[in-house]
């Protein structure tokens, strides 16, 4: 029979984790420390020690992760490992609930609703209650379901969710609670369960039926949970209940990589695990197999300032390597140009595009860069947010510009007209036909005030003479009220409109602007080529949230500035700031060889800081300022004359904000007058 030399294949800390069997264990697996390797080898070790595979339960966050781990364990040992019970919390819940459905007064042939089906069911209930006829704009099905789901996963009242994330809908709190109540009743009647129901019902089963819990404990004698820092309260509760009788549970994760609170993940689950299971053996994996030591020196220093953490200090045997580099760029466009130039330079040096990633805090941070990369014919894929030019609200604004430029563009006419309330496809077609026939238009305009406003706006636009930025500035006051009607998350989309305006400022003619915005993205072509030759695979643009668990030879993190990373939206509480710190840590630890940190010296999108528009000087992210890390662990460079005010267009900045600045300074004078 095959024997595995664990001492040879694992470092001492990994070996300790693998060979620890009985009782509760917490494995703190630092970034790049071989977490998956530990889980794979522990599955094999348990089976090798005589534990029946059916008595092992491996809970992961994706089905693919569980399948891959068990596949690797089978290669490592033998086919017995494939009989281990592995899967997601939801798949495990589904299996158990089918078996014990009657105890919960469920039919065991219940149907599971995916997100789209759940939204449709909820919308049906919403309509039946008559809330779709509200005089004020009522939240759409997606927003309501999301709010209900977050309330369940965070174990908080739905009113708190609305207050924190949907303040515009607070006045509808009672109506949403009513929808939730009727939605639950509807699912019961129809034998339907959504994703959240699977976890809620499983928790209730384990809590209220001790015999079932004891039976499951007897069946699953050894429990392992991957990425424990990403569990929500429900998932952690379920895991602890399953292990309550025998306490043979090993949870693996990294408190420093807990970054998904917006999905309901609870940082306290991993921090408090030793409190729930007294006598927990804590094993820390500190040897890093990914990054160079200079990168680890910086990331160790950043996370060392965390308020609450498990102590660890990542190290590697790869002692050589360059320090991370911080680049202060004059503005956003300079930042994009510097990144593109460096990518081309790296490519010439033999670094494949697929081994390069540009990371950012928010999806809109890459808007300008996407245009720059496309202009350089550098192919990319984007994860975490839609491609800028493909976003619905960007297409909306461009439709007005296109109609103004080419009145025969019926596709753009249709999009622009359908944005107006009470205008559907039929009415829109009639309007377009009236334009073609040049008759009957006045009658249609007299019937709809907003339609008349659209035509008055289009008369003002002069695409032949005015620059595209000036035209967009005229479009936005008309469009923004429609944006608020169409999109529940309109606040998040405002930053994209700022980006569009700034990108437009780089163009002199509407024609060239529209051509560049409409060009076929190179992504598709390169992805086809990549099927044959991975060397042609595109580079990656990604939010840091979407990059977790991945790694690249070279990583750029853009907008490393206060208000961006950390986000201005996450500065209200200490917990939020601490998660932003962990987010910076996760982004930085994705880099194997090169780490570049960039910020624009001038931020021309200060919607983050004020409503008046204009420009502001940025500050370096506090995560680099605290402890003077820039001097200790980072090489600081400048991409341009950021210290020379004339070179950053200060006169223009002051000019465009003159009135607001005057009022602001008058306020200051008034405030301090009596001091």
List the single range of 110-114, 131-135, 233-237, 379-383 with lowest mean pLDDT.
Answer: 131-135
Q: What is residue 159's predicted lDDT score, i.e. its pLDDT?
A: 93
Residue 238: pLDDT band (50, 70, 90) is: very high
Does residue 598 register a pLDDT over 90?
A: yes
- Residue positions counted in the chain: 675
Give Cα 455 to chain centroid, integer Å: 38
- Concatenating the DSSP letter of every residue in 24-78 gives -EEEEE-TTS-HHHHHHHHHHHHHHTT--GGGEEEEESSHHHHHHHHHHHHHHS-
Report how far residue 442's alpha carbon sits from residue 448's, in angstroms, rounded to the nearest whole number. Answer: 10
Q: How far is CA 341 from CA 361, 372, 434, 557, in A?
A: 22, 10, 50, 15
Residue 319: pLDDT band (50, 70, 90) is: confident
Does residue 434 register a pLDDT over 90?
A: no
Convert the pLDDT of each residue in 543-571 to its tens digit: 999 999 999 999 999 999 999 999 988 88
List the single range of 8-17, 283-292, 423-432 with lowest mean pLDDT.
Answer: 423-432
User: Mean pLDDT throughout 117-128?
Assistant: 85
Neighbouring residues of 250: CB distance < 8 A, sequence distance ≥ 6: 17, 20, 24, 25, 26, 27, 42, 222, 223, 224, 225
List the single range of 102-106, 422-426, 564-568 with lowest mean pLDDT.
Answer: 422-426
Report how far residue 224's alpha carbon sits from residue 251's, in angstroms, rounded to the nearest whole number. Answer: 6
Residue 306: pLDDT band (50, 70, 90) is: very high
Residue 530: pLDDT band (50, 70, 90) is: very low
CB burial class (10 A; 0-12, 13-18, 19+) of residue 40?
buried
Report how far residue 193's alpha carbon sits from residue 200's, in angstroms, rounded to the nearest whole number. Answer: 10
Which of the pair, 383 or 200, is modelled with greater confidence? 200
* Tokens found for residue 531: 């099927």
Residue 161 β-bridge partners = none
Report how far residue 412's alpha carbon sits from residue 398's, in angstroms, rounded to the nearest whole number. Answer: 8
* Tokens found for residue 31: 């970034």
List the single range of 74-78, 504-508, 586-590 with lowest mean pLDDT.
Answer: 504-508
Q: What is residue 657's predicted lDDT score, i.e. its pLDDT?
A: 45
Helices (H), 82-140: 89-100, 115-128
CB burial class (10 A; 0-12, 13-18, 19+) of residue 325?
middle
Which of the pair, 164 or 13, is modelled with greater confidence? 13
Asked whether 487 and 393 are in contact (CB, 8 A), the reply is: yes
Asked whether 379 and 539 are in contact (CB, 8 A), the reply is: yes
Does residue 172 register a pLDDT over 80?
A: yes
User: Mean pLDDT throughout 95-113?
Assistant: 88
Name the nearest CA neighbour of 555 among 184, 155, 49, 31.
31
List the single range of 334-338, 386-390, 658-662 with lowest mean pLDDT.
Answer: 658-662
Report how far residue 270's alpha carbon sits from residue 24's, in angstroms, rounded to the nearest whole number. Answer: 13
Torsion on CA atoms 459, 137, 196, 569, rounded to nearest 10: 70
Interhelix angle 195-208/89-100, rounded to 10 degrees, is 60
Does residue 522 register a pLDDT over 70?
A: no
Convert the pLDDT of each residue in 139-169 to its tens digit: 888 889 999 999 998 888 999 999 888 888 8
Neighbouring residues of 273: CB distance < 8 A, sequence distance ≥ 6: 24, 26, 228, 251, 280
Residue 532: pLDDT band (50, 70, 90) is: very low
Q: Give the per-residue SS3 of 294-343.
A: HHHHHHHHHHHCCCCCCCCCCECCCCCCCCCEEEEECCHHHHHHHHHHHH
User: Mean pLDDT throughout 10-31?
Assistant: 96
Which of the pair, 505 or 290, is modelled with greater confidence? 290
Does residue 523 register a pLDDT over 90?
A: no
Report how far residue 226's alpha carbon sits from residue 40's, in angstroms, rounded to the nearest whole number. Answer: 11
Convert the pLDDT of each residue in 445-482 to its tens digit: 777 787 888 888 888 887 777 888 888 888 988 898 88
Convert the pLDDT of each residue in 368-377 to its tens digit: 999 899 889 8
Q: How far is CA 308 from CA 170, 285, 562, 571, 597, in A?
A: 33, 18, 22, 17, 25
Which of the pair, 653 or 315, is modelled with greater confidence? 315
Could you tell me the sign of the dihedral formed by the alpha carbons of 213, 41, 31, 300, in that order? Answer: positive
Helices (H) and strands (E) in the chain, counts: 32, 17
Q: What is residue 133's predicted lDDT score, i.e. its pLDDT?
A: 65
What does pLDDT average to over the chain?
85
Q: What is residue 529's predicted lDDT score, i.e. its pLDDT?
A: 35
- Concatenating the DSSP letter of every residue in 503-535 gives HHTT-S-HHHHHHHHHSPPTHHHHHHHHHH-GG
CB atoms within 10 A of CB 173: 18
Report how far residue 291's alpha carbon sits from residue 322's, in angstroms, rounded to the nearest whole number. Answer: 11
Q: What is residue 526's predicted lDDT score, i.e. its pLDDT?
A: 33
Report how far residue 585's alpha carbon sits from residue 635's, in angstroms, rounded to the nearest whole number. Answer: 18
Residue 664: pLDDT band (50, 70, 90) is: very low
Hey, which of 14-18, 87-91, 403-407, 473-477 has the most confident mean pLDDT?
14-18
Place of tokens 């045997």: 317
List the single range of 192-206, 404-418, 469-483 with lowest mean pLDDT.
Answer: 404-418
Hey, which of 313-317, 519-523, 641-645 has the most confident mean pLDDT?
313-317
| Rounded-to-5 percentages of helix, strand, coil across the chain | 60, 10, 30
Place of tokens 């999108």: 605
Torsion on CA atoms 625, 628, 631, 637, rounded to nearest 10: 10
Q: What is residue 606's predicted lDDT score, i.e. its pLDDT?
A: 42
**Residues of the chain with pLDDT > 90: what percent?**
52
Q: Give the per-residue SS3 of 146-164.
A: HHHHHHHHHCCCHHHHHHH
Does residue 40 register a pLDDT over 80?
A: yes
Report how far residue 569's alpha carbon sits from residue 529's, in angstroms, rounded to the nearest whole number. Answer: 40
Strand 552-557 with 25-29, pairing = unpaired
C-alpha atoms less than 13 angstroms from C-alpha of 309 in its C-beta half-sphere = 21
**Residues of the chain with pLDDT > 70: what percent?**
88
Neighbouring residues of 569: CB distance < 8 A, sequence distance ≥ 6: none
Angle at 418 between CA 414 and CA 420, to 5 degrees: 130
* Tokens found for residue 433: 């036909």
Q: What is residue 528's predicted lDDT score, i.e. its pLDDT?
A: 35
Report how far residue 575's alpha carbon sits from residue 172's, in angstroms, rounded to the nearest whole number. Answer: 28
């Amino acid at each position: 029979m095959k024997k595995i030399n664990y001492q040879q294949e694992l470092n001492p800390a990994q070996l300790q984790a693998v060979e620890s069997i009985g009782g509760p264990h917490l494995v703190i697996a630092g970034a790049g420390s071989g977490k998956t390797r530990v889980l794979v080898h522990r599955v094999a070790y348990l089976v090798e020690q005589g534990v029946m595979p059916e008595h092992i339960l491996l809970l992961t966050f994706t089905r693919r992760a569980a399948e891959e781990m068990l596949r690797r364990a089978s290669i490592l040992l033998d086919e017995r490992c494939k009989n281990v019970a592995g899967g997601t919390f939801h798949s495990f819940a589904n299996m158990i609930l089918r078996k014990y459905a009657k105890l919960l007064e469920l039919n065991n042939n219940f149907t599971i609703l995916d997100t789209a089906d759940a939204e449709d069911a909820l919308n049906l209930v919403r309509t039946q209650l008559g809330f779709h006829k509200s005089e004020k704009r009522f939240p759409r099905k997606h927003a309501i379901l999301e709010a209900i789901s977050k309330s369940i996963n965070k174990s908080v009242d739905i009113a708190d969710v609305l207050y924190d994330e949907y303040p515009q809908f607070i006045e509808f709190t009672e109506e949403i609670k009513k929808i939730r109540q009727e939605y639950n009743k509807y699912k019961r009647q129809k034998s339907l369960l959504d994703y959240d129901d699977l976890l809620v019902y499983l928790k209730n089963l384990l809590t209220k039926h001790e015999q079932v819990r004891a039976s499951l404990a007897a069946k699953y004698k050894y429990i392992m949970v991957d990425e424990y820092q990403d569990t929500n309260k429900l998932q952690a509760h379920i895991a602890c209940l399953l292990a309550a009788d025998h306490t043979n549970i090993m949870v693996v994760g990294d408190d420093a990589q807990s970054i998904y609170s917006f999905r309901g993940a609870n940082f306290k689950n991993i921090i408090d695990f030793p409190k729930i299971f007294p006598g927990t053996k804590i094993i820390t994996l500190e040897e890093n197999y990914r990054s160079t030591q200079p990168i680890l020196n910086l990331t160790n220093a950043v996370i060392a300032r965390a308020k609450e953490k498990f102590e660890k200090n990542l190290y590697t045997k790869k002692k050589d390597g360059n320090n991370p580099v911080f680049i202060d760029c004059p503005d956003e466009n300079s930042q994009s140009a510097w990144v593109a130039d460096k990518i081309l330079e790296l490519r010439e040096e033999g670094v494949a595009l697929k081994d390069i990633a540009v990371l950012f805090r928010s999806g809109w941070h890459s808007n300008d860069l996407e245009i720059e990369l496309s202009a350089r014919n550098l192919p990319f894929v984007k994860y975490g947010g839609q491609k800028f030019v493909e976003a619905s609200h960007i297409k909306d604004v461009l439709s007005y510009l296109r109609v103004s430029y080419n009145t025969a563009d019926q596709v753009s006419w249709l999009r622009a007209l359908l944005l107006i309330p009470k205008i559907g496809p039929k009415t829109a077609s009639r309007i377009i036909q009236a334009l073609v026939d040049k008759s009957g238009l006045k009658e249609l305009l007299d019937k709809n005030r907003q339609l008349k406003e659209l035509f008055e706006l289009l008369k003002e636009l002069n695409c032949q003479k005015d620059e595209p930025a000036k035209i967009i500035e005229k479009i936005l006051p008309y469009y923004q009220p429609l944006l608020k009607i169409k999109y529940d998350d309109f606040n998040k989309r405002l930053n994209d409109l700022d980006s569009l305006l700034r990108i437009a400022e780089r163009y002199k003619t509407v024609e060239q602007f529209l051509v560049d915005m409409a060009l076929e993205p190179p992504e598709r072509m390169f992805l086809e080529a990549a099927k044959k030759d991975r060397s042609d695979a595109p580079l990656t643009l990604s939010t840091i949230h979407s990059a977790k668990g991945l790694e690249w030879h070279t990583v750029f993190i853009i907008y490393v500035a206060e208000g961006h990373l950390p986000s201005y939206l996450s500065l209200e509480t200490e917990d939020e700031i601490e998660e932003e710190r962990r987010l910076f840590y996760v982004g930085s630890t994705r880099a194997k060889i090169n780490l570049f940190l960039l910020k624009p010296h001038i931020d021309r999108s200060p919607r983050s800081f004020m409503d008046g528009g204009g420009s502001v000087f940025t500050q370096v992210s506090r995560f680099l300022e605290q402890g003077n890390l820039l001097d200790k662990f980072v090489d600081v460079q400048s991409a341009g004359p950021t210290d020379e005010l004339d070179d950053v267009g200060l006169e223009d900045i002051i000019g465009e904000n003159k009135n607001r600045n005057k009022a602001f300074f008058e306020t200051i004078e008034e405030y301090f007058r009596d001091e």
